[in-house]
């Protein structure tokens, strides 16, 4: 290796200030306001975050205490006693506002396929799929594993789980059957959501085949819901069901009452990509 240093040939000093129209729509309109808010967040964190939570979120029940810290254990709890729902805060709150007609998801695939969902369209899809999950016995506290490519059904499934109080565990679509199996076994999922295949560039990822291999050693999985992405795959009778068939049922309700969740209830489980779960290993969950 050469010991010579790299010379900086140029230094960028230009700035690009936002337009006045953009500034007027901003939540924080000046550096002075930012510094004031930052100072308050440091000097009075409970007061600051209470104000932010009350301003930005819809609560079924306001909290009894903003936070509870213990650095010796360590642990921290937030908004103790408060009740809310993440799906409601992402969708329902906008249904009587102009935002319902704005794009919530703009999706484009490698092959040029694209879809756009407004907040209202996403709301209906999430409510419908939440009722599909309930149809198959998924309830508050159950764990659903999601093994999907980057398609709109992924956030729809996540929000549907949040709506009924189920905990979702997203497994990266590029992971192997072994990695999927390890994560399902560790969290004891009841239901798996996957796709026939994933598309990455010009390659197809055999998601359903990987899922079939993994589920052979995952007795807690009762049902598998499959998104049709590129074509048909083998389906096991009584266990596997097509996403589109479930969503096209004529009597499927377009509304699912959100579950009132405690602020400290877990929303999802996220495994680190470099660590294979072992027996009795503690799982990190994010409230």
Is residue 22, in this structure, part of any structural domain at all? no
The CATH number of the domain where 237 resides is what? 3.40.50.12780
Is residue 2, in this structure, part of any structural domain at all? no
Identify which of 226, 235, 237, 143 has the alpha carbon closest to the alpha carbon of residue 190.
143
Distance of CA 200 to the CA centre of its chain: 21
For 23-82, write each residue's pLDDT tens digit: 888 988 888 999 999 999 999 999 999 999 999 999 999 999 999 998 888 889 999 999
Q: Do residues 160 and 251 both lie within one domain?
A: yes
Is residue 243, in this structure, part of any structural domain at all? yes
Among 49, 66, 83, the domain boundary falls at 83
Q: Could you tell me which residue, 201 or 171, shows the higher pLDDT?
A: 171
Q: Are strands 167-170 and 268-269 parallel, antiparallel or unpaired?
A: parallel
Q: Do residues 67 and 170 both lie within one domain?
A: no
Lookup result for tokens 């936002």 = 18
Prediction pTM value: 0.87
Q: Do residues 182 and 258 both lie within one domain?
A: yes
Is residue 248, in this structure, part of any structural domain at all? yes
pLDDT of residue 274: 63
Among 49, 83, 117, the domain boundary falls at 83
Is residue 196, in this structure, part of any structural domain at all? yes
Cα 278 from Cα 273, distance rounded (Å): 14
For 174-212, write each residue's pLDDT tens digit: 899 999 999 999 999 999 999 999 888 778 889 999 999
pLDDT of residue 283: 45
Q: What percent of the chain has pLDDT over 70?
A: 92
Q: Do residues 139 and 208 both lie within one domain?
A: yes
Q: Do residues 156 and 238 both lie within one domain?
A: yes
Q: Do residues 276 and 187 both lie within one domain?
A: yes
Tokens of 195: 């796709």
pLDDT of residue 287: 35
Q: Do residues 77 and 188 both lie within one domain?
A: no
Q: Do residues 185 and 269 both lie within one domain?
A: yes
Q: Residue 239 is part of which domain span?
A: 127-286
Q: Do residues 158 and 255 both lie within one domain?
A: yes
Contact 184, 221 (CB under 8 A): yes
Is residue 117, in this structure, part of any structural domain at all? no
Among 29, 62, 83, the domain boundary falls at 83
In the chain, how many domains are there? 2
Is residue 71, in this structure, part of any structural domain at all? yes
Q: Do residues 77 and 183 both lie within one domain?
A: no
Is residue 59, in this structure, part of any structural domain at all? yes
State the SS3 of the chain. Answer: CCCCCCCCCCCCCCCCCCCHHHHHHCCCCCHHHHHHHHHHHHHCHHHHHHHHHHHHCCCCECCCEEEEEECCCCEEEEEECCEECHHHHHCHHHCCCHHHHCEEEEEECCCCCEEEEEHHHHHHHHHHHHHHHHHCCCCCCCEEEEECCCCCHHHHHHHHHHHHCCEEEECCCCCCHHHHHHHHHHHCCCEEEEECCEEECCEEECHHHHHHHHHCCCCCCCEEEEECCCCCCCCCCCCEEEHHHHHCCCCCCCCCCCCCEECCCCCEECCCCCCCCCCCCCCCEEC
Q: Do residues 141 and 264 both lie within one domain?
A: yes
pLDDT of residue 279: 43
Cα 244 from Cα 152, distance rounded (Å): 13
Q: Do residues 131 and 77 both lie within one domain?
A: no
Residue 169 pLDDT class (50, 70, 90 cuts): very high
């Amino acid at each position: 290796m050469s010991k010579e240093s790299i010379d900086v040939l140029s230094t960028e000093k230009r700035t690009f200030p936002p337009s006045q129209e953009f500034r007027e729509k901003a939540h924080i309109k000046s550096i002075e306001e930012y510094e004031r808010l930052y100072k308050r967040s440091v000097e009075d964190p409970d007061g600051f975050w209470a104000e932010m939570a009350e301003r930005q979120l819809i609560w079924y029940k306001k909290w009894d205490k903003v936070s509870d810290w213990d650095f010796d254990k360590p642990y921290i709890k937030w908004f103790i006693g408060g009740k809310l729902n993440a799906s409601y805060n992402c969708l329902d709150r906008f249904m009587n506002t102009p935002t319902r007609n704005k794009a919530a998801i703009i999706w484009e695939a490698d092959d040029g396929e694209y879809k756009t969902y407004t907040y209202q369209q996403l709301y209906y899809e999430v409510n419908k799929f939440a009722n599909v999950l309930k149809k198959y016995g998924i309830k508050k506290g159950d764990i659903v594993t999601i093994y999907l490519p980057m398609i709109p059904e992924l956030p729809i499934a996540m929000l549907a789980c949040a709506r009924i109080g189920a905990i979702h565990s997203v497994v990266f679509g590029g992971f192997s059957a072994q990695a999927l199996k390890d994560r399902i076994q560790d969290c004891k999922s009841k239901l798996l959501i996957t796709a026939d295949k994933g598309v990455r560039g010009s390659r197809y990822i055999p998601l359903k085949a990987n899922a079939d291999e993994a589920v052979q050693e995952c007795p807690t999985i009762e049902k598998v819901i499959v998104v049709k992405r590129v074509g048909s795959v083998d389906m096991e009778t009584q266990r596997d069901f097509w996403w589109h068939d479930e969503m096209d049922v004529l009597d499927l309700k377009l509304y699912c009452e959100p579950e009132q969740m405690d602020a400290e209830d877990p929303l999802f489980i996220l495994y680190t990509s470099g660590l294979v779960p072992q027996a009795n290993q503690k799982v990190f969950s994010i409230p």
